[in-house]
Amino acid sequence: MKTRILFVCLGNICRSPSAEAVFKGLVKNKGVDDKFYIDSAGTYGYHEGEPADRRMQSHAIRRGYNLTSISRPFIPERDWDDFDYIIGMDNSNMRNLADMARSKDDLKKLYKMTDFANNYGHTEVPDPYYGGDPGFELVLDLLEDASEGLFEKLNYEK
C-alpha cells in the first residue's frame, strides 16, 4: 500500500507544487518512490489549470526540481479520502483545510509542513507570491528541511 501525501497551499502555484517536487525528489533519491503517491492542491481555485509560477520554477530548477504540476483546487469530498496525510504550508491554509474537514477523522490527517522541520524555527512556509527572490529561496530551504523530517517520521511510523 502506498503512502499518499497531499501538499496544500493557497494558489497551488508556488509552495505546494514545490513541496510536491522536493518530496518526490527525496523519495526518488532514497530509492523508495514506488512506495508513495504524492500530489498538491490549493485551497483557492483561482489559478486552476496553470503551471507553477515562473519565478518559483526558476528558483526550483536551480536546485534540480522540475515543477511539472498543474494547479488544481482542494476537493474535500475526494481528497480527505484519497490521502493519508494532508499537509498545509501556513496557518491560513490550516484554518481553511480545517474548515473543509467533514469529521474528526479527516482532521487527524491534517499536518503543517513546518511541524516536520529539523533545522529551521519557522512555524509557517511563508507565501512568496508578493515578495522577491529571497522569499522563493526560503520556501525551498524550508521545504527541503521539512521533507527530510517528514520522511523520518513516516519511516518511524512504519
Q: Nearest approach, Cβ of 103 to ligand 4NP (angstroms)?
A: 26
Task: Give the Cα separation of 35 and 115 in Å (integer).
Answer: 22
Rounded CA Rg of the chain? 14
Q: Nearest approach, Cβ of 84 to ligand 4NP (angstroms)?
A: 22
Q: Is 84 a catalytic residue?
A: no
Q: Is 62 a catalytic residue?
A: no
Instruction: Please say which residue, 9 or 26, places its beta carbon nearer to ligand 4NP.
Output: 9
Marked catalytic residue, from 9, 39, 90, 145: 9
Question: In this structure, what DSSP letter does residue 5 have?
Answer: E
Q: Is 55 a catalytic residue?
A: no
Task: Give the Cα separation of 154 and 158 in Å (integer).
Answer: 6
The answer to whether 107 and 57 are in contact (CB under 8 A) is no
Task: Give the Cα separation of 140 and 152 in Å (integer).
Answer: 18
Task: Give the Cα separation of 41 and 72 in Å (integer).
Answer: 5
Q: Which residue is nearest to ligand 4NP (CB)?
A: 11
The H or E element containing residue 150 is helix 133-157
Instruction: Please say which residue, 32 or 122, places its beta carbon nearer to ligand 4NP.
Output: 122
Instruction: Please say which residue, 120 or 129, places its beta carbon nearer to ligand 4NP.
Output: 129
Contact residues toward ligand 4NP (CB under 6 A) are 9-15, 46-47, 127, 129
Instruction: Please say which residue, 57 or 154, places its beta carbon nearer to ligand 4NP.
Output: 57
Q: Nearest approach, Cβ of 29 to ligand 4NP (angstroms)?
A: 24
Residue 76 grid coordinates: 474535500
Q: Nearest approach, Cβ of 30 to ligand 4NP (angstroms)?
A: 25
Q: Which residues are catalytic?
A: 9, 15, 127
